[in-house]
């Protein structure tokens, strides 16, 4: 089969044997996949990754122990958990200490014609959710995770920093949850995408960023940059909560005095359960089509990765064959 490979900072397309599913795993045939910023970070050496990347996908089940799954169109939770530890028992397999992660940690990813996942990770897709909607399940779940971690008062004001893919999804999810969202970013085109939903957006000038100081009880940092955290600290009110969605390779330098004197709460937030995301996708209230910047062939993955890194680019989709 065709597969994308990342090794020592290089990306290539290889021919490799079809994976053989382990006990309890299903064999899946890719319908389409999405390139996430994490994939780009993996290419840059984050996690010392070597292997097949990719964790946003829609696929058909080719083989499975559960006959009801065969032939079905699915998405899949990306954490492969042990199922036995205290985290797994609490339904927090995403934090299982011995977990592997599809396309990120020790489990071959979805940028390939075939992949495997534990059957319990699979979620059946209703016909009403299209492939190009379903491929957003994982990042939408990551946005929804915020609502599981933080209790927002009704109509609370939230600043979302970052007009990348995740920032745009977070702004939408929080807006649909009834919060008063203001989106901050550097790219006017990206920011204006959410205008049809009535989400207020403010362009931050790169040279002389004028940030509203101590103005928000909640700030989400989805900038993917270390400066984003400094901006969040400047914008948060005393006793406010900053939700951190940016994993940055470098170490953050934090002014702890500001943070402690003002009693700021910082909440690290990563991926989430698929159920709330699928519910939202089914509701058709998310603006996803304008977030697709391009469709490429799996065989052209190196070019697709370049396009995904271009300024102004949002989601690039990969199709196994076109």
Residues of this chain that interact with a copy of itself (CB under 8 A) are 87, 92, 95, 97, 149, 214, 229, 238-239, 244-249, 251-257, 259-270
Smaller CB distance to a copy of itself: residue 262 or 309? Answer: 262
Give the residues across from 102 on adjacent strands: 107
Q: Report the distance separating Cα 245 and Cα 83, nearest Å.
A: 26
Give phi and psi for 88, each to the nearest 5. -60, -40
CA angle 16, 20, 26 (to 5 degrees): 120
Smallest distance, Å, CB 253 to a copy of itself? Answer: 4
Smallest distance, Å, CB 150 to a copy of itself? Answer: 9
Helix (H) or strand (E) holding 155, with range, is none
CA angle 31, 32, 36 (to 5 degrees): 155
Residue 78 in 3-state DSSP? coil
Smallest distance, Å, CB 90 to a copy of itself? Answer: 9
Smaller CB distance to a copy of itself: residue 216 or 229? Answer: 229
* DSSP letter assigned to residue 269: -
Smaller CB distance to a copy of itself: residue 147 or 248? Answer: 248
Smaller CB distance to a copy of itself: residue 7 or 148? Answer: 148
Smaller CB distance to a copy of itself: residue 239 or 284? Answer: 239
Q: Report the distance separating Cα 226 and Cα 277, nearest Å.
A: 28
Smallest distance, Å, CB 321 to a copy of itself? Answer: 34
Smaller CB distance to a copy of itself: residue 151 or 321? Answer: 151
Q: Are 124 and 254 in contact (CB under 8 A)?
A: no
Smallest distance, Å, CB 239 to a copy of itself? Answer: 6
Smallest distance, Å, CB 149 to a copy of itself? Answer: 7
- Residue written as token pair 């890719």: 30
CA angle 55, 243, 316 (to 5 degrees): 30
Q: Are 25 and 82 in contact (CB under 8 A)?
A: no
Smaller CB distance to a copy of itself: residue 2 or 242? Answer: 242
Q: Are 320 and 30 in contact (CB under 8 A)?
A: yes
Smallest distance, Å, CB 244 to a copy of itself? Answer: 5
């Amino acid at each position: 089969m065709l597969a994308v490979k990342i090794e020592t900072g290089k990306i290539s397309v290889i021919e490799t044997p079809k994976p053989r599913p382990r006990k309890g795993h299903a064999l899946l045939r890719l319908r389409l996949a999405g390139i996430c910023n994490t994939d780009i970070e993996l290419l840059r050496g984050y996690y010392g990754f070597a292997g097949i990347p990719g964790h946003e996908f829609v696929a058909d089940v080719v083989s499975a122990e559960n006959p009801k799954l065969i032939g079905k169109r699915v998405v899949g939770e990306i954490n492969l958990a042990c199922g036995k530890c205290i985290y797994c028992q609490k339904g927090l397999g995403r934090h299982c200490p011995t977990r592997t992660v599809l396309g990120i940690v020790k489990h071959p990813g979805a940028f390939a014609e075939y992949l495997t996942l534990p059957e319990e990770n699979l979620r059946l897709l209703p016909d009403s959710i299209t492939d190009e909607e379903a491929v957003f399940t994982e990042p939408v779940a990551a946005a929804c995770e915020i609502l599981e971690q933080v209790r927002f008062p009704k109509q609370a004001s939230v600043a979302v920093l970052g007009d990348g893919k995740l920032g745009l999804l977070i702004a939408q999810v929080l807006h649909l949850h009834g919060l008063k969202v203001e989106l901050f970013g550097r790219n006017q085109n990206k920011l204006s995408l959410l205008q049809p939903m009535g989400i207020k957006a403010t362009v931050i000038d790169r040279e002389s960023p004028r940030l509203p100081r101590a103005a928000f009880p909640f700030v989400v940092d989805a900038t993917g940059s270390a400066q984003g955290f400094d901006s969040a600290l400047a914008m948060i009110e005393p006793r406010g909560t900053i939700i951190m969605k940016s994993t940055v390779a470098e170490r953050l330098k934090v002014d702890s005095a500001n943070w402690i004197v003002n009693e700021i709460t910082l909440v690290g937030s990563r991926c989430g359960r698929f159920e709330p995301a699928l519910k939202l996708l089914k509701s058709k209230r998310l603006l996803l089509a304008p977030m697709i910047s391009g469709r490429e062939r799996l065989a052209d993955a190196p070019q697709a990765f370049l396009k995904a890194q271009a300024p102004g680019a949002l989601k690039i989709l990969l199709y196994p064959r076109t």
